[in-house]
Amino acid sequence: MSQSFGRGAYPNTRLRRLRAKDFSRRLVRETQLSSDDLILPLFVIEGRNETQKVASMPGVERLSVDLLAKKAKTVRELGIPAIALFPVVDPSAKSDCASAAHDADGLAQRAVRELKNAVPELGVITDVALDPFTNHGQDGLMDHSGYIVNDETVEVLVQQALSHAAAGADMVAPSDMMDGRIGAIRDALEGAGHSNTLIMSYAAKYASAYYGPFRDAVGSAGNLKGGNKASYQMDPANTDEALHECALDLQEGADMVMVKPGMPYLDIVRRVKEELRVPTFAYQVSGEYAMHCAAFENGWLKREAVILESLLAFKRAGADGILTYFAEEAAQLLQD
């Protein structure tokens, strides 16, 4: 690091002077975290007044649509601008062709309508991917050899995104990592009159080992049967490729890009933000959440301090926003 900062040598420069008191630490703080930076992922299930605990994610529950609407009101009151919606469908709704993904009366579509009716000012972000709806747990359609086919999958993703927009989703978030899907979805949204529907692309989504609890939560782990998604999600060893993925998605019409997972990939967040200078988001994924919770429950880490420090790290790296299961708790801590 260059030392030509224009500061004098010690003792003329004592950097601890700025740290000595609370007021001066606050005045020179470089990074700020607020509830405006948070997005809460929520899992929705069928039924009424139904909750299901997610065993691998302490404190996280799947909610029926009516309870989801109540939760949304709490989220709004905490100042959190948006939720990200993930449906957990019955096994009977899963198929080879994932047709339930774009059913106008499907679980996700009904949940969007209810959310926008209950709390219209809260942003609703929907997941565009087929893994909750395929009987093999992959994010796309599968050919006879077990390979996830690209173009045929994109056709279904377009239908899914259109059904979400028609239901009232403010933003669709393709998380599938198929090539060309952003351009196809953007063209379809424009053609259907949904020109203001935002696209948040999971542009740099890695084939990570940190997703296990999420797959439990949405019910795709059992269908996946130990398989992996390395043929379409990114190799964790690559960084330049992430820039190419983000740049392509932006050219195709994405309004913002996401890096996933979060904390193990903060170097990617930094590169994307510095080199592309676009709205950049990160997902503090289920495995990160579960690890933190395990440490909290064992008394190894201080819960409140670590939650806020972990989220501040995303902001410091350059993230404009963070999807996190700690969003409610963090927003309350920031209010206090």
The residues carrying an active-site annotation are 205, 260
Q: Is the dihedral of CA 60, 65, 67, 72 positive or negative?
A: positive
d(CA 109, CA 101): 9
Mark residue 146 as left, alpha or beta (left: phi above 0; alpha: psi -120 to 50; beta: remaining): left
Compute the C-alpha angle 243/249/254, nearest 5°: 125
Cα–Cα distance between 285 and 242 in angstroms, integer? 18
Contact (CB, 8 A) for 202 and 260: yes
- The per-residue DSSP string of 225-292 comes to TT---TTTSBPTT-SHHHHHHHHHHHHHT-SEEEEESSGGGHHHHHHHHHHH-S-EEEEE-HHHHHHH
**172-203 b/e (C-beta count within 10 Å ≥ 16 → b):** bbbbbbbeebbbbbbebbeeeebeebbbbbbb
**236/140 Cα distance (integer angstroms):** 20
DSSP 95: B
Place of tokens 């927009």: 165
CA–CA distance, 215 with 206 (Å, rounded to integer): 15
3-state secondary structure of 327: helix
